[in-house]
Amino acid sequence: MSYQPIKEKLARRETVILDGAIGTEILRREVTWADHQLMSRPEFVRTIHADYINAGAEVISTNSFQLCRRALFNHFRDETHRRHIGAGDLDTRANTLLAQSVKLAVEAREQTKAKQPVAVAAAVTTLEWCFRPDLAPSDAQARTEYGEIFQVVKDAGADLVLLETVNSIHEAATALEVAKEIGLPFWISFVPTEKGKLFTGETLKDAAAAMEKDGADAILLNCAPPDDISAGMKQLARLTKLPIGTYAHIGRFDPPEWLFSEEYPPSKYTEESARWKKMGATILGGCCGTTPEHIRQLNALR
Amino acid sequence: MAYNVIHEKLKAGKVVVLDGPMNTELVRRGIRWRKHGLLTDTVAVEQLHREYLNAGADVIRTNTFQLNRLTYLNVFRSREHQAHIGAPGLADLVPQLLKTAMRLIRQARIKAMKSDSVAIAGVLSPMQHCFRPDLAPTEEVARREHAFMARIFKEEKADLLIADSMNTIREAKGALAAGRAAGLPVWVSFVLGPEGELLSREPLADAVKAMKRGGADAVLVCNAPPEDMSRTVPRLKAMTHLPCGGCAHIGKFSPPSWKFDFFPQFLETESWPPERYAGEARKWITGGATIVGGDCGTGPAHIAALRVAASAGAAAAGGR
């Protein structure tokens, strides 16, 4: 499989269905997601991917939210401290898990025998916490770390990178450059504020221009409530010729977990998505709180 | 009331046994780690307190390690963002959780019929990740946030406070001042860095001096492997006449595969069964420790073994 069928659909301006949440879906199924369940319960993770494929998703994203070496290392003062009291496999654990997250998505695709072509997107997030641009590493450091992550997911068989919940232009641009060097199609997804800006205060206009100039394959918005997404989508359609799309979250962030609500049942989420489609979105899916049923009903918008 | 009992014991040179951890032990028991289990697993929390009481702990600690207002704010961009996409009531959640934690620990002590002999310590801990001294708040912020918690512990009838796993002198000073202002005895416990000083690399001697000056009732070291404690306790003892001691962690810290502040999981703890742990703790007692307990990875069986070692240590020192 490859990115090619998706690329062609987008070129024809046809709607592409992205999957829904995986992290919160793990929680909704009454399992803790503290370790992503990639090693402990691979069958469980594959089942969720399969449910999304069966619901009609054409792009499925790996179960790898905020999964990177830095996230693990951040729990220690420094390398000396980590070696002194940390688990022995921490140098390699993130990459092992990342590769496993791709493998499980690929296996789910093989086992599901879907009617539609399905691409596997490696879901990669900001290197530091997604809502905290103030913590972002230097561009030089980010380049090294994204290089490592993208190589791992490429080798594991990912068809594209979905860099999601991004909060600044410079981190997006750095990652994009690295993805191009490594040779992976690259979707960028920004988290918008209520006013349709990035969390740094940068504008979507500048973000879209930077992404288009450097060769991103699509620009999306995610990890915000539907109203915020609408505010951003309204602008985005006018700002770029690239395919655009979105996946909103529904419910509330209840750290470290998620509070599910009935505010956006699948039918209502589909109505919201129909508005985004009208605004120009051709990639539609769901973020935290959405379920396979939300994705199944999105098929009406194809 | 119950702190007097502890105070008298320490004054008489007897060894006081602290309990073990709540967090790693609850996770080991399969509790899904959200809000410290205080909304979902109250029975398990109270049960674990009771097991530490039955194991012979003289001082038991609330299940509130790394539970503070900043924990729930740091994962958002701002307060406004927290209100906008966060669960309703998140900004006011911490007082509710602290009260629940106090209610459960008091209930456990009543049911164990140890209200006169065992003291309840309200746990203050670093506002940011306990292993990240670089993120520690200013002394002013520390004092404000710890004062907020200390007042609640006082209202809820804690007998003392323990500023647990402090990683900088400035936050420890803030926590100590807040605790004193609330009118409670305060023990301060520092994370021991790999170099044998504070995790911030500030000298332990400076920390001890600052704690003496600030009016601490005891100084401890914690959150490092048992052998590190054995090397450090005699040094600590030489620095102060205050009661001192320590709690070691066992096994290896295994952080979560995504960010959430201190996720309590230690692996390979089998390498430190209770007898071995107590054997190492005997060295701390010989080295001058009069307060010994368990940190991440240990459990009730470790505390039971410590109880035996503590009593034997006291007998050897002529304390009983």
Q: Which residues of chain A from 189 to 228 reach within 8 Å of chain B, CB to CB? A: 194, 199, 224-225
As a whole number, mean pLDDT of residues B177-194 equals 98
Q: Is the pLDDT of residue B276 over 70?
A: yes
SS3 call for A31: coil
Q: With an 8 Å Cβ cutoff, are B131 and A249 in contact? A: no
Give the Å distances, CA to CA, from B26 to B45, B296, B306: 7, 11, 20
Residue B174's φ and ψ, nearest 5 degrees, are -60, -45
Q: With an 8 Å Cβ cutoff, are A252 and B88 in contact? A: yes
Residue A119's φ and ψ, nearest 5 degrees, are -100, 145
Q: Is the pLDDT of residue B1 over 90?
A: no
What amino acid occupies position B290?
T
**Could you give the CA distance from residue A146 to residue A283 in angstroms, rounded to a whole number?**
24
Q: With an 8 Å Cβ cutoff, are A84 and B263 in contact? A: no
For residue B82, what is the nearest residue in chain A, using CA coordinates? Answer: A253
A217: closest CA among A167, A179, A256?
A179
Q: With an 8 Å Cβ cutoff, are B260 and A255 in contact? A: yes
Which run of H or E residues covers position A245? strand A244-248
**Could you give the CA distance from residue B320 to residue B318 in angstroms, rounded to a whole number?**
6
pLDDT at B314: 57
**Tokens standing for B108?**
């456990």
As a whole number, mean pLDDT of residues B291-317 equals 89
Angular region, B317: left φ>0, alpha ψ -120 to 50, beta rest: alpha
Interface test with A, best of B40, B252, B258 (most A CBs within 10 A): B258
In chain A, residues with a C-beta closer than 8 Å to the C-beta of B33 are 32, 34, 256
A137: closest CA among A82, A73, A199, A70?
A70
* A153 in reach of chain B (CB within 8 A): no
* A131 in reach of chain B (CB within 8 A): yes
**Could you give the CA distance from residue A282 to residue A295 in angstroms, rounded to a whole number?**
14
Q: With an 8 Å Cβ cutoff, are A86 and B32 in contact? A: no
Q: Is the pLDDT of residue B192 over 90?
A: yes
Give the Å distances, CA to CA, from A70 to A127, A128, B185, B285: 7, 7, 39, 39
Contacting residues for A236 by C-beta, under 8 A, at least 6 apart: A204, A208, A219, A221, A244, A279, A280
The pLDDT profile of chain A, 302 residues, written as one tens digit per residue, is 689 999 999 999 999 999 999 999 999 999 888 889 999 999 999 999 999 999 999 999 999 999 999 999 999 999 999 999 999 999 999 999 999 999 999 999 999 989 999 999 999 999 999 999 999 999 999 999 999 999 999 999 999 999 999 999 999 999 999 999 999 999 999 999 999 999 999 999 999 999 999 999 999 999 999 999 999 999 999 999 999 999 999 999 999 999 999 999 999 999 999 999 999 999 999 999 999 999 999 999 99
Q: With contact defined as beta carbons under 8 Å apart, do B122 and B99 qualify?
A: no
CA A163 to chain centre: 6
pTM of the shown model: 0.95
Give start and end residues of each alpha helix (H) in chain A: 4-11, 23-28, 42-54, 69-73, 79-85, 90-112, 139-155, 169-182, 204-214, 226-239, 266-278, 292-298
* B131 in reach of chain A (CB within 8 A): yes
Strand blocks (E) in B200-258: 218-222, 244-248, 252-253
CA A28 to chain centre: 19
Strand B186-191 relative to strand B160-166, pairing: parallel
Q: With an 8 Å Cβ cutoff, are B194 and A84 in contact? A: yes
As a whole number, mean pLDDT of residues B171-178 equals 98
Confidence grade of residue B317 (pLDDT, cut at 50, 70, 90): low
In chain A, residues with a C-beta closer than 8 Å to the C-beta of B259 are 66, 71, 74, 129
ipTM for this prediction:
0.94
**Could you give the CA distance from residue B253 to residue A97 in angstroms, rounded to a whole number?**
18
Q: Which residues of chain B from 171 to 210 reach within 8 Å of chain A, CB to CB? A: 193-194, 199
**Could you give the CA distance from residue A175 to residue A122 in angstroms, rounded to a whole number?**
13
Q: With an 8 Å Cβ cutoff, are A76 and B131 in contact? A: yes
In chain B, residues with a C-beta closer than 8 Å to the C-beta of A66 are 258-259
For B88-100, give the DSSP string.
TTGGGHHHHHHHH
Give the Å distances, CA to CA, from B277 to B34, B82, B247, B250, B304: 29, 43, 10, 9, 11
Strand B291-294 relative to strand B244-248, pairing: parallel
* B3 in reach of chain A (CB within 8 A): no
For residue B296, what is the nearest residue in chain A, using CA coordinates? Answer: A85
**Tokens standing for B243?**
């009661």
Cis, bond preceding A256 (omega within 30 deg of 0): yes
Q: With contact defined as beta carbons under 8 Å apart, do A2 and A119 qualify?
A: yes
**What end-to-end distance do the CA atoms of chain B give, in Å?**
23
Q: With an 8 Å Cβ cutoff, are B257 and A36 in contact? A: yes
What amino acid occupies position A5?
P
**Tokens standing for A300?**
């009406």
| Residue position matching structure tokens 């991917």 | A49
User: Which DSSP letter does residue A19 get?
Assistant: -
Q: Is the pLDDT of residue B313 over 70?
A: no
User: Which DSSP letter does residue A158 get?
Assistant: -
For residue B248, what is the nearest residue in chain A, using CA coordinates? Answer: A85
CA trace torsion A12, A13, A14, A17 (10° rounding): 130
- Chain A closest-CA separation from residue B13 CA (Å): 32
**Could you give the CA distance from residue A69 to residue A40 in angstroms, rounded to a whole number?**
19
Confidence grade of residue B312 (pLDDT, cut at 50, 70, 90): confident
Q: Is the pLDDT of residue B318 over 50?
A: no
Q: With an 8 Å Cβ cutoff, are A87 and B87 in contact? A: no
* A259 in reach of chain B (CB within 8 A): yes
